[in-house]
Amino acid sequence: MTMHLDLPRSGQLINLGSNPRTFPSVNQTGFGRHRREPRWHSPTAAQRARVPPQRLDWLLDDGSLTRRLVAACGEAFRVAPLSQGWRRPLLNEAGALGMRPEHYAFVREVHLLCGERPWVFARTVIPPHTLAGGRRRLARLGDKPLGAVLFADRSMRRSPVQIARLRPGQWLFDAATAPLTSAPAEIWGRRSLFWLGGHPLLVNEIFLPELGE
């Protein structure tokens, strides 16, 4: 299957996947975060104290999440693509990337599974200028893990991690927990900016209840 990376025309959405969701436009709020987006924080001592102990180590690990999942799961680890295509980013994502919220980014969403159990929901947001030259491969990963590409690139730089508690009714919570038979009261996630050759992308990693079990 051939994938085209042409930018959408004004007002046009391209390839939103089989289960598209409506994300906020710049006109929905004058603030940098929509009410259905989580609050992201630096992992200060006060924030770390709120995190369940079994999640804190995963949130603060600065190594490759893919490598750690493979170590924990073995050959049963796999990537299940959910959707990808040109979308407007969430307001807080646009702010983190220095984008105008009405502009489009390439968004990829996957579940990282151990066998049939979803362990992590990952959402990657890539500005158009990042998908130039050899970096166009980021839009053609299919069922390959993004982390294997990022951590193999010698030009890769990563920002300090931010963490957030996600609750029902928030977009990322609902997307992450969609395959679960029962939704938890809360889940935790982290995000980082990565730069490849000085070009940014934002990676959200949302940890699900069965992670590591």
**Tens-digit pLDDT string for the chain (213 aa):** 434 444 444 333 333 333 333 333 323 333 356 778 999 999 999 899 999 998 999 999 988 999 999 999 999 999 999 999 999 999 999 999 999 989 999 999 999 999 999 999 999 999 999 999 999 999 999 999 999 999 999 999 999 999 999 999 999 999 999 999 888 999 999 999 999 999 999 999 999 999 977
The answer to whether residues 19 and 82 touch, using CB atoms and an 8 Å cutoff, is yes
Q: Which helix (H) or strand (E) holds 125?
A: strand 117-126
Domain that holds residue 148: 55-153+192-201
Residue 117 located in a structural domain: yes
Residue 171 located in a structural domain: no
What is the CB neighbour count within 10 angstroms for residue 160? 9
* pLDDT recorded at residue 21: 38
* pLDDT recorded at residue 11: 33
Residue 125 located in a structural domain: yes
Residue 61 located in a structural domain: yes
pTM metric for this prediction: 0.83
| Pick from 78, 112, 122, 102: nearest CA to 29 | 102
The answer to whether residues 32 and 91 touch, using CB atoms and an 8 Å cutoff, is yes
Residue 127 located in a structural domain: yes
Number of domains in the chain: 1
The answer to whether residues 149 and 131 touch, using CB atoms and an 8 Å cutoff, is no
* pLDDT recorded at residue 33: 60
In whole angstroms, give the CA distance from residue 25 to residue 30.
10
What is the CB neighbour count within 10 angstroms for residue 112? 25
